Structure 1
Amino acid sequence: MVQRRAVTAVLAAAALLVTAGCSSGDEGTTGGGSAFPNARSTEPGSPSSQQSAEATPPAKGSVKVLRTVTEDLDTPWGLAPLPEGGLLVSSRDKGTITRVDEKSGKKTVMGEVPGVAPAGEGGLLGIALSPDYASDHMIYAYFTTASDNRIVRMLYDEKKPPGEQLGAPDTIFKGIPKGMIHNGGRIAFGPDKMLYAGAGETGDRGLAQDKKALGGKILRMTPDGEPAPGNPFGDSVVYSYGHRNVQGLAWDDKQRLWASEFGQDTWDELNQIKPGDNYGWPLVEGKSDNPKYHNPIAQWPTDEASPSGIAYAEGSIWMAGLKGERLWRIPLNGTKASAAPEAFLKGKYGRLRTVVSAGGDKLWLTTSETDGRGSPGKGDDRILEVEVK
């Protein structure tokens, strides 16, 4: 297993305290480790007795990198495991989707997504499989065009030659504002089979508090791109607002939605998402005493996170840090952190972009050294198989 750089400091007890934020440049380079107290729970019908009845993960966890699955990826961003085996990975700058054999590491370019216009933090970003993938073989993708960010779906036909396996994109949703920064980009189907998308505010802070704007939001829609039934603002795809740049979405074993969010200069956040709630940006960054704003469950000072993807496994949220170059574990008890977050892999593999459950105690983890803000070395970028506890 290749290590990109030596660890510059022993992971000390301070790394068990919650910390980490990200600068206004968002996807920046290297940091420390510590944590912040739990926020109040705003989940209705979640009394402390219910939370205490839930299984609580141990205060201390562990991470073991089992192997490097594949190397030499170009700006990997989205990652989607196929039920029949194989990992789909999107290239932000090339606009391609590649299938990786998770056993041999062999890479097969499935095709290029037409209309992708990579620039800054934009390009081909998140990907997700249709909830009916077994029958329809549809792949969803979020990407930046010359005019907006949009979500499309494409038929995957592995019987066709490499490079020609993606069908023509069917645009299901468009008009999400784009920018050189803060394009959001993470998409995921929830337990309700609705499609959720993190949409950044593009650097235009006012969008986040405007309920009619699509930027600075978490969006929820049907697989056809229509406002999902039960959304909080009537005939709108807006699910929550007051976000700066959400790039991580995951559900726990109680079907609660969690999201990671880039802060500006002070606090990055892990939030438990409630429909219709206001998460404060740009009026609040991190925790607030104002009950109008939903407080984060955990927050990190600048340089220790710049969080992108998150996944749920073994009772904890696992959060990939770009600038922080580490994998954070946030153990949960209901809608609160049950112990201080822990940092793992600090500085060993560089910037970490996406983390996805591989089932049980395993995760898939991608690096992000070729995104223009890293220091790529031999083999970058790569997918790692990780065992967590």
Structure 2
Amino acid sequence: MTSTPAQPAPSATGNGTVPGDLTPVHPVGEPVVIASGLQAPWSILRLPDGATLISERDTTRVRELLADGSLREAGTIEAAEPNGEGGLLGLAFLADEAAPGGAGWVYAYFSTAIDNRIERMPLAGGPGSHTLGAPTLVLDSIPRAGNHNGGRIAFGPDGLLYATAGDAGDTANAQNPNSLGGKILRLTPTGGVPDDNPFNTLVYSFGHRNPQGLAWDSRGQLWASEFGQNTWDELNRIVPGANYGWPHVEGQAGDAAYIDPQQQWPTDQASPSGIAIVNDTIFMASLRGQRLWSIPVTGPSSTAAPTEWFVHDYGRLRDVVSGPAGTLWFVSNNTDGRGSPAAGDDRLFQVVIGPS
């Protein structure tokens, strides 16, 4: 571990946008290690009080990052049953003074023996001593398999919970309106159907293979990263009720029946998981591609050409989030059974970002 930077509270905008400043940003200098010794980390959750929680897929532990770079266990998701790409996946937080403890709820997306589901747990304690209380079910019956489980969850600017659900290895799920698989879902904090959802169900968009990144730009536009099959990985601008084509198309097909991705990559250059948006610049963590991508948002429905960073320097990258002011955090994922772990893996990194 090279250093442990200070950890102030996240910005109020959540996705790292500096109010009034939308100049595109990019990494400046080399990353430093914040923490090491993580086991198949999946999601980085920065809390309003300055604390950070990290989910571990296979141990099903939620670990808290301490100020000196060490890690402690804040809780375990007892119902999670890891298998293949399933296990403890995404985390999200909702501030709620009415929650037990008065702080709010930590949400977890995870795999059981029979499905993927979302639970929430009250957050107790303060930075350095956080614990998770008894879980409450939010949503179950999301299809699960050894792969294509989706798993990213995030609260949008509208206060609603969004979740990425993979097709669970059954391509028919993506076009089936009665399946939660192959979709981006939108639900109330307790799992209900919002009144303005496009199909009067939890489905917000469909025709997805395995989306794993969610973030909003300064206009409130939702973006999602998605694993392709053999040819193209995708970055999609999400439109309510839209069909993104899987399994009929992969990548930019030019078919008016489907929404084409804004950007696409060969699968050996991406295999994208988490994304973050800082100053309307999308940062995308890539697994097989072993690099970080930056993609400036240039308009309501357009992006500039992507730029790659740290190619093969740190191995597989699973998640990326806005860090303390002027920084970006990302986590490696070399202990997930598909990578080649280096000393200290898996590791959480911080890199300074600045104007392009």
- Both structures adopt the same fold (TM-score exceeding 0.5): yes
In structure 1, what residue type is equivalent to 2:119? V
Q: Which of 121, 131, 147 is matched with 1:181 structurally?
A: 147
Aligned-residue offset at 1:347: 0.6
| 1:277-335 per-position Cα deviation (integer Å, ceiling 9, x unaligned) | 00000001000121110111100012000000000013210000000000000111123
Structure 2 CA distance for aligned equivalents of residues 215 and 379 of structure 1: 35
Structure 2 CA distance for aligned equivalents of residues 268 and 301 of structure 1: 6
Q: Which of 113, 123, 128 is matched with 1:146 structurally?
A: 113
Q: Which of 190, 193, 199 is matched with 2:165 structurally?
A: 199
Structure 2 CA distance for aligned equivalents of residues 181 and 69 of structure 1: 30
2:223 counterpart of 1:258: yes
Q: Which of 209, 213, 231 is matched with 1:244 structurally?
A: 209
* More deviation, 350-359/92-101: 350-359
Structure 1 CA distance for aligned equivalents of residues 214 and 303 of structure 2: 20
Structure 1 CA distance for aligned equivalents of residues 188 and 140 of structure 2: 14
| 1:144-174 per-position Cα deviation (integer Å, ceiling 9, x unaligned) | 0011000000112227x97x92212111110
2:240 counterpart of 1:275: yes
C-alpha contact 2:80 2:111 (8 A) present in aligned 1: yes
- Could you tell me the TM-score, scaled by structure 2's length? 0.89
C-alpha contact 2:95 2:104 (8 A) present in aligned 1: no
Distance 1:211 1:131, change over 3 A: farther
Q: Which of 82, 95, 99 is matched with 1:118 structurally?
A: 82
Distance 1:155 1:55, change over 3 A: closer
Q: CA RMSD in A?
A: 2.1
Look up the match of 1:317: 282
Look up the match of 1:172: 138
Aligned-residue offset at 1:359: 5.1
Structure 2 CA distance for aligned equivalents of residues 231 and 131 of structure 1: 23
C-alpha contact 1:81 1:87 (8 A) present in aligned 2: yes
* 1:130 partner SS: strand
Q: Which of 127, 135, 149 is matched with 2:91 structurally?
A: 127
C-alpha contact 1:314 1:388 (8 A) present in aligned 2: no
Distance 1:385 1:56, change over 3 A: closer
Look up the match of 2:72: 108
2:178 counterpart of 1:212: yes
Structure 2 CA distance for aligned equivalents of residues 338 and 189 of structure 1: 23
C-alpha contact 1:131 1:193 (8 A) present in aligned 2: no
Structure 2 CA distance for aligned equivalents of residues 264 and 324 of structure 1: 14
Aligned-residue offset at 1:338: 4.2
Aligned-residue offset at 1:104: 1.5
Aligned-residue offset at 1:118: 0.1
Q: Which of 57, 76, 80 is matched with 2:45 structurally?
A: 80
Q: Which of 289, 292, 305 is matched with 2:257 structurally?
A: 292
Aligned-residue offset at 1:63: 4.1
In structure 1, what residue type is equivalent to 2:87? G
Matched pairs, number: 334
Aligned-residue offset at 1:106: 2.0
Structure 2 CA distance for aligned equivalents of residues 57 and 338 of structure 1: 14
Aligned-residue offset at 1:132: 2.8
Q: Which of 205, 220, 229 is matched with 2:195 structurally?
A: 229
Structure 1 CA distance for aligned equivalents of residues 286 and 44 of structure 2: 16
| 1:86-106 per-position Cα deviation (integer Å, ceiling 9, x unaligned) | 2100110001101102x4112
* 2:174 partner SS: helix
2:315 counterpart of 1:350: yes
| 1:188-209 per-position Cα deviation (integer Å, ceiling 9, x unaligned) | 0000010000000011000001
Structure 2 CA distance for aligned equivalents of residues 165 and 289 of structure 1: 49
In structure 2, what residue type is equivalent to 1:68? V
Look up the match of 1:155: 122
Structure 2 CA distance for aligned equivalents of residues 330 and 220 of structure 1: 25
C-alpha contact 1:56 1:333 (8 A) present in aligned 2: no
Aligned-residue offset at 1:65: 3.6
* 2:172 partner SS: helix
| 1:329-368 per-position Cα deviation (integer Å, ceiling 9, x unaligned) | 0111123444310000101110000001125532110100
In structure 2, what residue type is equivalent to 1:82? L
Look up the match of 2:8: none
C-alpha contact 1:88 1:98 (8 A) present in aligned 2: yes
Look up the match of 1:382: 347
* 1:291 partner SS: coil
Distance 1:386 1:283, change over 3 A: same
Q: Which runs of 5+ in 2 are unaligned?
A: 3-19
In structure 1, what residue type is equivalent to 2:319? T
* 1:303 partner SS: helix
Aligned-residue offset at 1:131: 4.0
Q: Which has the higher contact order (CA 8 A, sep 6+)?
A: 1
Aligned-residue offset at 1:57: 4.6
* 2:82 partner SS: coil
Aligned-residue offset at 1:136: 3.9
Distance 1:278 1:155, change over 3 A: same
Matches within 5 A, 1:17-96: 57=23, 61-96=26-61
